[in-house]
Amino acid sequence: MAGGGPAGLALAIAARQRGLSVVLADAQHPAIDKACGEGLLPDAVKSLRELGVSLDAGEAYRLRGIRFVAGGGAAAAQFPGGTCGFGVRRTALHRALASRCEDFGVECLWGQSVEGISGSEVFLKDRTIRARWIVGADGAQSRVRRWAGLDRPRSYRTRYAFRQHYSVAPWTDHVEVYWSQAGQIYVTPVGDNQVGVALISRNPKLRVQEALSLFPRLESRLAHASVISRERGAVTEMRKLRRVCAGNIALVGDASGTVDAITGEGLGLGLRQAALLADCLRADDLGQYQSQHSRLAQRLRLIGRLLLTLDGRPRLQQRTLRVFQQRPEIFAKMLAVHVGAPASGLARNAFALGWNLLTT
């Protein structure tokens, strides 16, 4: 397997759980960091439990729901059925996944990049590995995808994300999403005395510190907080591939397509893909993976497009917030579907939201 990020590590663990042998190679060494919102929603937490991955006490902050903040208003909804998410530093999550791989006997070749593939052979700098299956888990700019001839994605609305951490006690057990003309800022508690702040906008030059003045309520919250991490950036977009398999090669995680960071579910999606792919590898049937892969992201792409209609439209943001305040059951139902509850009634609630936006 090429790539040792969360999706690759999750697949390695899931494959070992199903009795398969796994060799994983990555040019970096643990713990690998990456710009992300660092909020694990309930379905991602469930996937980690199924892998037997646990986070050390003090490394994860319990999350109860989502709060939208725009202008002078705010609306919140809790995760369904008393479930919870976790805010966790990406490095802590990576260490936990890598440790679980070691427990399962995965052969992890850290500091070794995959230089090429041919048939059943994978070429590293100083060795060649023969494999029944070759998996690209090497991120949005996947070289495995290009080598396999699968690199013809359809993309929708490229945006830019930047993340920093601040030393301050969390003031809420919700992920907060601040909206403005400039974009969104996600605030995720990731410890007893730190929060992650992730900016998403269409401006590649806009940075977190500069953007705070555009979100005055959040700026006041962080007025006396100190920055405790280096700012990291990434491109975010909806990217869908026509195919995620070719012969004995399969793609997983961001290598197999992405959803906009506005969904907060990129990691959870990668974990679900890993479980599906492990089942299909065990069954010797990549065709099944191809047919089911797009279904996993279908709900998130729909919700992502709905949320992106609010991007850059302050008046629509504030009207939507008023509807959520007046009809909290609509927000609660949409959040429940977002984190994996059955979609029954979603169309009815979407219609109710639209009608209330027209009449508010």
Q: Model confidence over 341-359: pLDDT tens digits?
A: 665 555 555 545 554 544 4
At 262 the pLDDT is 80
Q: What distance in Å separates the CA atoms of residue 164 and residue 221, rounded to the nearest whole number?
A: 15
At 260 the pLDDT is 84
Q: Are residues 188 and 293 in the same domain?
A: no
Give me the CATH number covering residue 89: 3.50.50.60
At 357 the pLDDT is 47
Q: Are residues 51 and 175 in the same domain?
A: no
Count structural domains, the chain.
3
pLDDT at 153 over 90: no
Instruction: Cite the beta strand spans of the chain per DSSP E.
Output: 23-26, 39-40, 60-63, 65-70, 73-78, 85-88, 107-110, 114-118, 121-124, 128-130, 134-136, 154-167, 174-180, 183-191, 194-201, 226-227, 232-240, 245-246, 249-251, 257-258
Q: Are residues 332 and 318 in the same domain?
A: yes
Contact of 160 with 235, CB cutoff 8 Å = yes
Contact of 87 with 61, CB cutoff 8 Å = yes
Residue 326 lies in a domain: yes
Residue 40 lies in a domain: yes
pLDDT in tens, 298-324: 878 877 787 888 888 888 888 888 888
Mean pLDDT of 165-183: 95
pLDDT in tens, 10-44: 999 999 999 999 999 999 999 999 888 799 999 99
Contacts of 14 (CB under 8 A, 6+ apart): 51, 274, 275, 277, 278
Peptide bond into 332 cis (omega under 30): no
Q: What distance in Å separates the CA atoms of residue 177 and residue 184, rounded to the nearest whole number?
A: 7
Q: Are residues 198 and 267 in the same domain?
A: no
pLDDT at 182 over 70: yes
CA dihedral 106, 276, 200, 68 (to 10 degrees): -120
Look up the domain containing 316 and give its range: 310-359
Q: Which of 104, 93, 90 is nearest to 23 (CA)?
A: 104
Q: Are residues 268 and 285 in the same domain?
A: yes
Q: Are residues 148 and 174 in the same domain?
A: no
Residue 115 lies in a domain: yes
Average pLDDT of the chain to the nearest whole number? 90
